[in-house]
Structure 1
Amino acid sequence: MTETKVSWLPWSEESFRKAKELDKPILLSISAVWCHWCHVMDQTTYSDSEVARLIEEKFVPIRVDRDQRPDIDKRYNMGGWPSTAFLTPDGEILSGGTYIPPEHMKALLEHISSFYQKNKNNIKSRIDELEKEMEKPSVEYGLGSEVFHSVIDGLTLEIASLFDSLHGGFGNSPKFPHSNALRLALLQHHLQGHEAALNIVKKTLTEMRNGGIYDDEEGGFFRYSTTRDWSVPHYEKMCEDNAKLLVNYLEAYQVTGERLFRDTAKGIVAYVKATLSNQENGGFYGSQDADEAYYNLRLPERVKRTPPRVDKRLFVNWNCMMSSAYLLASVVLDDRTLQDFALRTVNLLLDKSCSPENGVAHYIMEGESHLFGLLTDQVHMMECLIDCYQLTLDRNFLSRAENIAGFIMDKLWSEAGGFYDKPRATGGFGALNLLDKPLEENSVAADALLRLHYLTGKQKCLEAARRTLEVFASGIQRYCIMGCDYGLAAELYLHPMQVHIVGSRKDYVTRRFLAESLRAYNPLKVVEVIDPDVDSERLKRLGYPVADVPTAYVCSEGTCNLVEDPKKMGKAVRQFGGKDDGN
């Protein structure tokens, strides 16, 4: 971040102790290296001598990096970045905002300090009360499938009602991609044959690709558009966003066969390879800073300038997302180099960020791992490891995914159902004493646990996934379009497709079956190769006969179809349980 005149302290027990000893409120600044207005606030407000003097005199200033500490950001974010939160020494929120210019900040500092000194004895912390409220069981278990169908119908209606038929996307400005809404819409087209749902996806992805939110010169997408028509982007580029959009364009190409979607996917990959990855050692970088002047240049002019700064920290959840997207791209685009790089990255993460006792770390910086046990990193690692297993047939990946599943069920599970975002033991002080159950990460957890159940038959995974879905079912409406990742997990619970390929893993025909299964669009499929020489117990439980040549079984809704020709595998996966798009 930009240098300022404020002497920032880290988020730590010592900093909170200092606030209590000095009896001063805390100024908490939540920033991000890629955030344009964070840099502006550092260059203006926090570089103003009078602002710095007031902060030093009347507050204990704490600076937190949003990407490094998503758990703090989730609890103290005031509506965007930068987030400016004024807290009691116990971590209770007094007031706050986002970007605050110098003159406004001076007045606010005086007001908050005075308010705290006059009212500190009457300020009652609600942290304990909120914690008790969170623990009250209010969930109905044993829900029938009709409840999940109703939730999905509601999400589908929300997608349709918010769709911008003129420019694509959802709502007005600022306009974000909403990748999971696009994935759910495409899935509804596949399952129900809704052409309107397909049009939402095609229109949005086409308008985004042809709009200013896509970088025509170097590839990749900016974070969001400040305008309804995608013409004026906010210029930072994020690993997370490009990973999600890569999946969107790959799946759209799988369904439609349209060249624009394939070429856009290739453009994202080219950008990530050139700028947002460590090609020598593996790993995907976190982000690239916003720089409007740079990005408004054509490529010949850009190469003469220093490009915007790249944040080279490896955030594990985002690395897992991009690795999974790369694995899909390697199959859909028929590019083995993408698989190789994804696997190199995953092996790096397994080596550097995984602890049997503490779970998966959140980020790797200068070779060291930090902040273990957050739900987001556990669940995205599980999903990624399952993707690795399906593509490589290496059981080590499946075993590591099962280990992480055991960790989250042991350390993060709530007796009321669902998973907390962090282990209880890491609370400490402030609002981190509150345990949150985030919808997005719980949806990913349910998805990963369901896939593990379909691959291993373990009922514990199925039960945990079902209870996780149940705990959010009644309140999903308040999330609106942001609940679409829940819809994807609910569809996997309702309409799973299991593809069982029976044959030697070394057999060329087995590999053909596998490749065709993975290449075909159906995000609800779980693909497993069952080698009679290695998986005899699994084969016995499933009851499949062993033929002279490899065969495959595509199973959905309690029915299995036998496929004996690898050339017919793609159609079987697309068609069985959905509408065959013919691509």
Structure 2
Amino acid sequence: MQEETRVEWRQWGQDAFDEARERAVPVLLSLSTTWCVDCHEMDATTYADPNIAANVNDRFVPIRVDADRHPRVRERYAAGGFPSTVFLTPDGEVLSTATALAPDGMRQVLDRVAENYAEKGDDAGRVPRALSGDLPPAGEVDAAIEEQLAGQLGEKFDERFAGWGQNAKFPLARTVEFALKRERDQALRSLDAVRDHLHDEVAGGFFRYAGRQDWGDIHHAKLLDTNATLLRAFAHAYVYTGEEVYREPAASTVEFLTDDLWAGVAVGGSQGPGEGAEYWRKDAAERANDRSPRTDLTAYAGGNALAADALLTYHGYTDDERAREYADRVLDYLERDLLEHGSVVHFRERGRTGPRDVLSDIAAVVGAFTRAEQVLGYGADVASTVADHAIETLHADGSFRDGPIEGPGLLDRPLRPLDGNAAMANALVDLATLTGEESYREIARETVGAFAGASHRVGVQVAEYGTAASRLVHDPLTVAVADDPGSDLHRAALRVADHEKVVVPDADESIAPDLDRGTARVVGVDGTASDPEALMERVAQRE
């Protein structure tokens, strides 16, 4: 929900760019979010200034975009933070970028951009390098990819304060998961720091990030994606260690997602930072007397798929029924309201429909339904339908585009995000193992290989790329269980301390030939197991 300003904001769409072309003026694109303090501050000060508003309205076509509702616009135009203040040609090419601007700074920027465009016109615009159309350098999918990223963990790890990097600290849940199998002490120390500094001990859930290397200067917004991925990471840490210090933050995050952020049919997108740090230092009773933080209850496809994946992971490790119940409800919502013949709708809200087939949404949805197949015994068919549609419509020249090549601005330029491709590759490895359809694994291999020629430049922030490469070079631990989902044998398989494994419940002949009912087999290990103890022995033999 945007603040009232004097600026005559247009919606993102071709009409706004056509208007800019007809008037021969630049576009001012304001990318904001509901949880961004600086966005609301800029509305209340800079854009509320009548002289600035008149300048913007007279010399530009102003477009306001909610970055959460338009992820493909965000990926092309975000200036490293929110708000992003981006000036464009009528064709969508970039003239200038900034983040939050106070009134004096905004006056200077408006004059400079308007004068530059009046002098040079469209020649002043540029297309970001990622949208140039050049393909990433391909290469062989081999062990060197995982080894390089594992080496990056050590080089970038902060030995003093934990986490990776020397400036602001983000939780980096997928990096933690990669490290759990390769540098476990780093992973656990990083989760300890996240728990100690970013976890809300009163209401549960995790804050977005810390602005300082020592995990100080907390930015108190709680985003669905952050909380879902951290819930899964803490659950994995619990299954490795058995320590309550990892289970308890996960449990309270389940409560946060299914209570404070629950939107009735699914999980909302975010909870804002409130009126300041003082709010978060108060206990539950004191908070009850304050104004609640701004909450966006839009149920986004990708975030809810990540939540379902995490809730089911936690349920598989703990038998927590609340987590299972709400995961079921989220999956029902996704399948009923946001999936259409394999196509994924980003959100639906009061008659409004968001963009379709965003790669990050698709990868998360395939991942959620493959997780459901492993934990609940159903979901692979939905995952296959979505994956097949994505392969047909988005996979080209060896990798996945971030969405359809269509729309105003630079949406008609292909973007091949490494993080989205890594997530999709991992989901396809799971799907191939669960269904026996090797074509999914081959697409995953091709996708990872499409970036392999530059793998030495991949940083720890995209460590999931190393996970995908590893699972293609070394087949993941696979446990086929010829028993019902929820049986003791199946539950024991889920709790094997290897979070990159795949568990196939109710396995048939296509996955595990000659497997008697009531037994399990670790693929690649001779012999079967009929009880949890024997299964653990078979797992140890593979390792």
TM bracket (short chain) = over 0.9
| 1:326 has 2:326 as partner | no
Verify: 1:231 aligned to 2:216, yes or no: yes
Q: Does residue 374 of structure 1 match 2:358? A: yes
Q: Which amino acid counterpart does residue 421 of structure 1 have in structure 2? A: D
Distance in 2 between residues matched to 1:527 and 1:515, nearest whole Å = 10
Which position in structure 2 is the counterpart of 1:398?
Answer: 380
Shift of 1:529: 2.7
> Is the CA contact 1:282–1:341 (under 8 Å) kept in the aligned structure 2?
no
Question: Structure 1 residues 301 and 130 mapped into 2: Cα distance closer, same or farther (>3 Å)?
Answer: closer
| Native 8 Å contact 1:30 1:65 kept in 2 | yes
Distance 1:241 1:122 in 2: 40
Change (3 A) 1:98 1:577: farther
Distance across 1 between alignment mates of 2:57 and 2:431:
53
Corresponding residue SS for 2:354: strand
Matched, 1:364 2:348: yes
Distance verdict in 2 for CA 1:567–1:137, change over 3 Å: closer
Deviations along 1:24-72, one digit per CA (max 9) or x if unpaired, are: 1000000010011111111111111111011011000001111011101
Deviations 1:509-528 (CA, angstroms, capped at 9, x unpaired):
x8221111112221222111
Conserved? CA contact 2:116–2:124, under 8 Å: no
Aligned to 2:454: 475
Whole-Å separation in 2 of the counterparts to 1:272 and 1:115: 48
Whole-Å Cα distance in 2 between the matches of residues 355 and 273 of structure 1? 26
In structure 2, the residue corresponding to 1:176 is in which secondary structure? Answer: coil
Separation in 1 of the partners of 2:327 and 2:265?
Answer: 8
Asked if structure 1 preserves the Cα contact closer than 8 Å seen for 2:298 and 2:349, the reply is: yes
Q: How does 1:184-203 map to 2 (within 5 A)?
A: 184-188=178-182, 197-203=183-189
Partner Cα separation in structure 2 for residue 530 and residue 297 of structure 1: 49
CA-CA distance at 1:86 after TM superposition: 0.6
1:121–1:245 distance in 2 versus 1, CA, 3 Å? closer
The CA RMSD over aligned residues, in Å, is 2.0
Aligned to 2:293: 308
Shift of 1:121: 6.1
**What amino acid sits opposite 2:388 in the alignment?**
G
Map of 2:521 onto structure 1? 553
2:98 and 2:200 map into 1 onto residues whose CA distance is: 31
| Aligned residue runs from structure 1 range 120-199, under 5 A | 120=121, 122-123=123-124, 126=127, 134-135=133-134, 138-140=137-139, 143=140, 148-188=142-182, 197-199=183-185
Q: Which residue of 2 aligns with 1:411?
A: 393
- 2-side partners of 1:130 and 1:330: how far apart? 39
Deviation (angstroms), 1:136 = 5.2
- The CA deviation at 1:577 is 4.4
TM alignment of 1:28-177, pairs within 5 A: 28-120=29-121, 122-123=123-124, 126=127, 134-135=133-134, 138-140=137-139, 143=140, 148-177=142-171
Q: Residue 423 of structure 1 is aligned with which of 401, 404, 412?
A: 404
Q: TM-score, normalised by structure 1?
A: 0.88
Aligned residue in 2 for 1:194: none
Cα separation, 2, equivalents of 1:474 and 1:319: 33
Aligned length: 539
Choose the corresponding residue for 1:501, options 475, 481, 484.
481
The structure-2 alpha-carbon separation of the partners of 1:276 and 1:88, relative to structure 1 and needing over 3 Å to count, comes to same
Distance 1:368 1:514 in 2: 42
| Matching of residue 389 in structure 1 with residue 373 in structure 2 | yes
Give the one of 432, 438, 441 matched to 2:420: 441
Q: Is the 8 A contact 2:95 2:125 kept in 1?
A: no
Shift in CA distance, 39/125, structure 1 to aligned 2, threshold 3 Å: closer
SS at match of 2:504: strand
* Structure-2 change in CA distance of 1:125 and 1:440 (3 Å): closer
Q: Secondary structure at the match of 1:563?
A: coil
- Residues 303-341 of structure 1 show CA distances to partners (whole Å, capped at 9, x for unaligned) of 111210110000110100011100111122221221111
CA distance in 2, matches of 1:372, 1:88: 25
AA matched with 2:535:
M
Where structure 2 has 5 or more consecutive residues not aligned to the other structure, the ranges are none
Is the CA contact 1:393–1:529 (under 8 Å) kept in the aligned structure 2? yes
Structure 1 residues 121 and 273, CA gap change in structure 2 (3 angstroms): closer
Q: The residue matched to 1:27 in structure 2 has which SS? A: strand
Aligned-pair distance for 1:135?
A: 4.9
Cα deviation, 1:358-388, whole Å, max 9, x if unaligned, reads: x011123237542111111111111101111
Secondary structure at the aligned position of 1:500 is classed as: strand
How far 1:134 moved relative to its partner? 2.3
Q: Structure 2 counterpart of 1:338, which letter? A: A
Q: Paired residue for 2:233?
A: 248
Counterparts of 1:76 and 1:44 in 2: how far apart (Å)?
A: 23
- Cα distance in 2 for partners of 1:477, 1:364 equals 40
- Kindly provide the amino acid, as one letter, of the partner of residue 401 in structure 2: Y
> Which residue of 494, 506, 514 corresponds with 1:544?
514
| Closer/same/farther in 2, CA of residues 410 and 298 from structure 1, 3 Å limit | same
Shift >6 Å, 4+ stretches: none
Corresponding residue for residue 565 of structure 1: 531
Matched with 1:457 is 436
Deviation at 1:478, TM superposition (A): 2.8
Q: Secondary structure of the residue that 2:142 maps to in structure 1?
A: helix
Indicate how the Cα distance of structure 1 residues 371 and 576 shifts in structure 2: closer, same or farther if over 3 A, else same.
Answer: farther
**Maintained 8 Å contact 2:94/2:125:** no
Q: What is the deviation of 1:500?
A: 1.1
Q: Which runs of 5+ in 1 are unaligned?
A: 189-196, 579-583
Distance of aligned partners of 1:219 and 1:576 in 2 relative to their CA distance in 1, 3 Å threshold: farther
Say whether 1:19 aligns with 2:36. Answer: no
